[in-house]
Amino acid sequence: MENEKQRICSFYVSDWHLTAMLLPFIEEKVEKGETLNTILEKNITYNMKEILNRIQLKEKIKEKILEIDWKNKNLIKYGEIRKFMENATKNQKKVIILIEGNKDRIDYINRNIDKWMQKQARKLKRKEIMIINCYEVSEFNQSLQEILDNHDKILNTSGIHEIEEIYAGYIRKRA
């Protein structure tokens, strides 16, 4: 099996919405013992703590969610992304990378991840890599079609879906 890369997009209107929208997905992955790695433009630690204090979840799951690094990281340069990806993929068969920020920043980070993955293709065999790009709604109005075309699926509060399920009438423009 070759490595499998899946790119998922998500949209949010505020830091609170981002946190609440991601929580069901994160809870599911944490319960399965999967590791989530983050490259965030904003620090959402406070939001995550507040939401977790207000909902009913097993304490062990809450603790594991809070162990995830919810602070902002200014990782943009290739060397920084390379180190981040080396750590994220070390001893992991399934790698989940959550990226949040404006479209230009997300695109730049994704290009550096792709560049790193191409250079590491042999080492990444048998790994699943899921990249979740989270865009703030006010940031992308003119680029929605382009964003959707560059992703395999979409994540919202009810989970991961085919883009066509969420955006009726959407027609993919890429091959």
- How far is 130 from 42, CA to CA, in rounded Å? 21
3-20 pLDDT tens trace: 688 999 999 989 999 999
| CA-based R_g, the chain, Å | 16
What is the reported pTM?
0.89
95-144 pLDDT tens trace: 999 999 888 899 999 999 999 999 888 888 778 999 999 998 775 566 78
48-101 pLDDT tens trace: 999 999 999 999 999 999 999 999 988 878 999 999 999 888 888 899 999 998
The CATH number given to 4-166 is 3.40.50
Sequence spans of domains, the chain = 4-166
Q: In the structure, how many helices (H) and strands (E) does the chain have?
A: 7, 6
